[in-house]
Structure 1
């Protein structure tokens, strides 16, 4: 029994570590492309709306596989399905550094999305397999720290690298790093012994997952979460350059603040959520209340951005808005494993599909709004409305019927 517990603990650490590394590499890609807006537009001769389209097509690729990857993960396990996603992402990332035709660049961004669309459902499937339920949010928050860490270090480091060497070389380096993670994953990760015996959910059970009101309201709120994240990744450098005429290095340092706040918030909220769950076993108290409060604070923080005239105040409100929203990241995933431990992959696939849909729409909409109005003001108000509606939806409609029993 002790040996089995030790193996589970070791494997849980492997899952968390590799998910962190993969999130770091994946989101360094987002940093590269957001800080390379100018060079990419110059290389391909495109405007803001066309650049936004490239970001949206990447998310469209992820959107296309989120749901089906969740079902496949429940059936075949994380080792096989995540391996496939990893190698597709890594090879595509490397090839993007070689491409010189815009239409081909767009096509490969879709393929990159195919590879990345597996990642978060696979992470949550593996965590559901190896981490006790009362520790799941803290484990998930640790795994997801790769995202804000990438955005924290990526700003100052990659803005310098792009200036010195160019964006293409950065893409190739990230592809090589992805191959390294793929090799380590294959060598270290094994499915739990009960995987072969695990009951595969039926079609009727998957339909029940899809129709669950708590999961659906969580999914809409996760759309709002994605709206803020994709705006932060894609448009913050362009916002400071357009509105305040700042240079790339200054922007790189400014962008560290929202992500530093996010790291602290994710760690604190992950720990708090699990403590509340251990004390009550109540999903609404331990997960849902934390999410809607944080997202309502995020929505309120974006309203002043429509009228700020100082770059210092802009950084302040962006730090609060992004930090509050990102802090809720772990509890979103825990709701899926709390409600549907046997269908955790499929449930995660549903909410991540909404997340990816925001990645399709938001970068393009922000680009279109800024081209149309010559300002980011309308985009900030749009983001506030979307995130606020998700928070209110959770407050009013996310009501699990009863506290769940802890999954050991």
Structure 2
């Protein structure tokens, strides 16, 4: 079959997961924009807000592998609809927080609710997409998260200014519940079960989605089996480094730019949206580079080259931002850093589907768990290092060093080896 002879129905699934990623990061970044009014209303210090931001990452990290295993077992249709409903409820409840502890607990539970989103998407991608399309599809999904965050910064700043932070969280929670109903009604776990897909497209997907390796896959796995894999540990290590850089953009970039350069709230929102838009470009470029390289017969290079290039750009961007004395200069270098950091995402998640196959939900969830431990450390390290040194310089140097370490890790990764083999 020529898979492009008609508009492939599988791309409608990408539209659904793109919107999910968009929503995911609108909900996630809202807390960063609302930092000042929340801190004022609840009388919180910067360090306490650091713990609030970190609590999300901890909940998100802890529930990655379990939610990935559930996506593999029960299918992404039920799991994604359920978890979006759960995290949307906790998004809305954030607006009811009355003190530091209540906010801490709500953000932890919100993070736990979001944990299954990308592992569920990975399992859906395995079921629905040929191997050679995996890079660009992953890039499109992650670009949705960056565009969502970029879109949210000025929009949420406006909502909070006009309607207050409590109302804003309730509105965002309601939108999430609507997505969950739509996904459950329209999506099916397998192309074989979807009445709207043509027989030629169905046959094409089944012939090209890596099922020939099914003999390597056990029916059930546990966390201990994953941790016996060198590929798994390497994926976790490099993703820890990636999230350290990117999570800064989701948590402390907005308050950092606002305070460092004396900007108004909405102005700071527009400035800090720019690196996230460049993050979307990084995802698209990396996804294109992955598939182009893969089609030339270089499977390993198609994952390792985009990731290594991305980590190098991220290190350069972080170091360059240290020397800028204007908001525009800082944003230019931080845009380069986030473009690079986001280039590492499509190869990372494609790698998890490569080595995980029918367990790609569990494998990607375990990698994302490690990544969000990096995010947890970022959220805390930024305010503590700032208080200790009086400067952001050391934080950016640490981030650059981690990006360099990640390149070394990628050079040892083997995308063609199932996690039970290497």
Q: Normalising to structure 1: TM-score of the pair? A: 0.91
For residue 120 of structure 1, report the CA deviation from its aligned partner: 0.5
Secondary structure at the residue paired with 2:358?
Answer: coil
Distance in 1, Cα, partners of 2:318 & 2:285: 22
For residue 202 of structure 1, report the CA deviation from its aligned partner: 4.6
Distance in 2, Cα, partners of 1:287 & 1:401: 10
Distance in 1, Cα, partners of 2:171 & 2:396: 34
184-193 or 112-121: bigger deviation: 184-193
Distance in 2, Cα, partners of 1:391 & 1:40: 38
For structure 2, list consecutive stretches of 5 or more residues without a partner in the other structure: 194-210
Q: What is the match of residue 270 of structure 1? A: 287
Q: What is the match of residue 187 of structure 1? A: 185
Of the three residues 375, 393, 398, the one matched with 2:391 is: 375
For residues 153-184 of structure 1, give each alpha carbon's deviation from its aligned partner in whole angstroms, at most 9, with x where no partner exists: 22222222211221111111110010001100
Does residue 297 of the first structure (1) align with residue 295 of the second (2)?
A: no
Secondary structure at the residue paired with 2:178?
Answer: helix
Of the three residues 141, 144, 155, the one matched with 2:142 is: 144
Does residue 251 of the first structure (1) align with residue 268 of the second (2)?
A: yes
Checking the alignment, whether the CA contact within 8 Å between 1:270 and 1:331 is kept in structure 2 is: yes
Distance in 1, Cα, partners of 2:142 & 2:127: 17
Distance in 1, Cα, partners of 2:131 & 2:295: 9
For residue 187 of structure 1, report the CA deviation from its aligned partner: 0.3
Question: Cα distance 1:343–1:378, how it changes in 2: closer, same or farther (>3 A)?
Answer: same
73-82 or 60-69: bigger deviation: 73-82
Q: What is the match of residue 233 of structure 1? A: 250
Q: What is the match of residue 196 of structure 2? A: none
Question: Cα distance 1:310–1:336, how it changes in 2: closer, same or farther (>3 A)?
Answer: same
Distance in 2, Cα, partners of 1:205 & 1:175: 33
For structure 1, list consecutive stretches of 5 or more residues without a partner in the other structure: none
For residues 10-47 of structure 1, give each alpha carbon's deviation from its aligned partner in whole angstroms, at most 9, with x where no partner exists: 2x334312221121122112332111111111011111
Distance in 2, Cα, partners of 1:111 & 1:344: 24
For residue 329 of structure 1, report the CA deviation from its aligned partner: 1.6
Q: What is the match of residue 288 of structure 1? A: 304
Once the two structures are superposed, the pairs formed by residues 51-66 of structure 1 within 5 Å of their partners are 51-66=49-64
Distance in 2, Cα, partners of 1:46 & 1:373: 21
Q: Normalising to structure 2: TM-score of the pair? A: 0.88
174-183 or 366-375: bigger deviation: 366-375
352-361 or 112-121: bigger deviation: 352-361
For residue 139 of structure 1, report the CA deviation from its aligned partner: 0.9
Distance in 2, Cα, partners of 1:76 & 1:338: 21
Q: What is the match of residue 41 of structure 1? A: 39
For residue 115 of structure 1, report the CA deviation from its aligned partner: 0.9
Distance in 2, Cα, partners of 1:234 & 1:177: 22
RMSD of equivalent CA atoms: 2.5
Checking the alignment, whether the CA contact within 8 Å between 2:354 and 2:415 is kept in structure 1 is: no
Checking the alignment, whether the CA contact within 8 Å between 1:160 and 1:249 is kept in structure 2 is: yes
Q: What is the match of residue 392 of structure 1? A: 408
Of the three residues 92, 98, 106, the one matched with 1:94 is: 92
Question: Cα distance 1:402–1:105, how it changes in 2: closer, same or farther (>3 A)?
Answer: closer
Checking the alignment, whether the CA contact within 8 Å between 1:14 and 1:188 is kept in structure 2 is: no
For residue 121 of structure 1, report the CA deviation from its aligned partner: 0.2
Once the two structures are superposed, the pairs formed by residues 346-361 of structure 1 within 5 Å of their partners are 346-361=362-377
Once the two structures are superposed, the pairs formed by residues 100-179 of structure 1 within 5 Å of their partners are 100-179=98-177
Distance in 1, Cα, partners of 2:262 & 2:82: 43
Question: Cα distance 1:156–1:125, how it changes in 2: closer, same or farther (>3 A)?
Answer: same
For residues 243-295 of structure 1, give each alpha carbon's deviation from its aligned partner in whole angstroms, at most 9, with x where no partner exists: 2222222211211221222222221221121121122152x200112101211
